[in-house]
Structure 1
Amino acid sequence: MNYLRFARVVKAPSCGTIGRSSIWIAALLSAAMLTGSARASEAITPSADARPMSAVELYLLYRDKTWTWPDGAGRFDDQERRFTARTGAGATTAWAQGRWVITNDGLLCLDADWHTLSGIYRNNSCFGHMRDHETIFQRKEPSGAWYVFKHAVPTKTDEFNKLVADNLVSSDLASIKSDLEDQKRLAGNKKPGKRTTQ
């Protein structure tokens, strides 16, 4: 494994910068990744012994994994650090393609174009990670509440358990793209491929 490439990844893109028209994309992504109201009630503060996870640790945690959500999933491919995702159904269907970026100060950032019925929106969402021995904490940056992502003795409810090796995104993307384009045509969207930059 080549760890030298991590030395170049030390500064994260700005986190959470979005325009008005893509606010719902950020909300959708946040809701999908931090599922359940239990997460909010588990808000804690990592101990003074906790430290930011390194880029190598984050790479090993997310590389070639799929993060499953209640209505979709996000895939972290090692090749070119490609990030793909699908979520929703019918009028709320969305898919994304972009990159995942990791830093030596514990950040995982998802920089992707989200394709929806109303257009294409760029979104950058970042998640902070701290480690206290074998316990991993996570939060949505810049101001989300910390919660235990993986307990030292893993529990069934750990969000970590939703990271699986199976690619649950790529096989569905072609049909999702086609269905979304059909919906756009039916809705009268004249330029379904037009991208909106925020």
Structure 2
Amino acid sequence: MTIIRTLSVICIFGATGTCIISANAAQSKNTDPPAMSVPLASEELFKLYNNRSWIWKDGAGYFAVKQREFKAWTGEGKGSYGYGHWFVTDPGKLCFKAVWYAKAGKAPALTCFSHRKKGNVVFQKREPDGDWYSFKTVPAKTGDEYQKVKPGDYVTARYNRVRDQLPSE
């Protein structure tokens, strides 16, 4: 089964400003963990993301090892950017907590993804209400979301440009 997936950041500012990062799959709900799968250990999860950039359809996030810094940008033009920290928790969860800045203001957001494995496949799901989908396979398959997770920092240059275009605090 092929899953078409997007990752987007939606920031709504106002009295209770919020930012939502959503992972959407074009398929029916699949909220139960894959049968016979087990959560990834913290060490496995750390290896998937440390010092890597996750390239999204309309942005990217960088998971630095130093101080577990998380930086991201999204959107064309002035867009928005987020700055905070990332962490892994058992069982098999990656989270990033950031303050997102946009033209209209700023808002905090906590975003988490669960990871499970079965054989040579790592599955991922955005918490709390995302769908499970194949995230990484060994050997890699065309269309694996993990192919968008690249070693190195592909974020900071664009992050700085977006930050410099927005009003300072």
Normalising to structure 2: TM-score of the pair?
A: 0.83
Out of 60, 63, 80, the position equivalent to 2:67 is 80
In 2: Cα distance, 1:170 partner to 1:133 partner: 35
Structure 2: gaps of 5 or more residues: 1-14
CA shift, 1:120, in A, is: 1.1
In 1: Cα distance, 2:102 partner to 2:139 partner: 39
Q: Which residue of 2 aligns with 1:133?
A: 119
Q: Which residue of 2 aligns with 1:98?
A: 84
Out of 168, 171, 179, the position equivalent to 2:157 is 171
After superposition, what is the alpha-carbon deviation per residue over 1:146-170, rounded to whole angstroms, capped at 9, x for unaligned?
A: 1111134421101010000131111
Tell me, yes or no, if structure 1 residue 21 matches structure 2 residue 17. yes
CA shift, 1:43, in A, is: 5.4
Q: Any idea what SS the aligned residue of 1:143 has?
A: coil
Q: Which has a greater percent of strand?
A: 2
One-letter amino acid of the counterpart of residue 130, structure 1: R
Q: How many residues align?
A: 154
CA shift, 1:40, in A, is: 3.1
In 1: Cα distance, 2:147 partner to 2:42 partner: 20
Q: Which residue of 1 aligns with 2:145?
A: 159
Percent identity of paired positions between Structure 1 and Structure 2: 31
Tell me, yes or no, if structure 1 residue 56 matches structure 2 residue 43. yes
Tell me, yes or no, if structure 1 residue 146 matches structure 2 residue 132. yes
After superposition, what is the alpha-carbon deviation per residue over 1:127-176, rounded to whole angstroms, capped at 9, x for unaligned?
A: 11111122111111112111111134421101010000131111222221
Instruction: Please say if residues 37 and 116 of structure 2, whose CA atoms lie closer than 8 Å, have aligned partners that are also in contact.
Output: yes
Normalising to structure 1: TM-score of the pair?
A: 0.72
In 1: Cα distance, 2:38 partner to 2:16 partner: 34
Q: Which residue of 2 aligns with 1:124?
A: 110
After superposition, what is the alpha-carbon deviation per residue over 1:103-136, rounded to whole angstroms, capped at 9, x for unaligned?
A: 1201111100001111111100111111112211
Structure 1: gaps of 5 or more residues: 1-18, 182-191, 194-198
Q: Which residue of 1 aligns with 2:12?
A: none
Q: Any idea what SS the aligned residue of 2:134 has?
A: strand
In 2: Cα distance, 1:149 partner to 1:116 partner: 29
Q: Which has a greater percent of helix?
A: 1
CA shift, 1:20, in A, is: 4.5
Q: Which residue of 2 aligns with 1:15?
A: none
In 2: Cα distance, 1:81 partner to 1:99 partner: 5
Q: Cα RMSD between the aligned structures?
A: 1.9
Change (3 A) 1:106 1:67: same
Q: Which residue of 2 aligns with 1:189?
A: none
Q: Which residue of 2 aligns with 1:8?
A: none
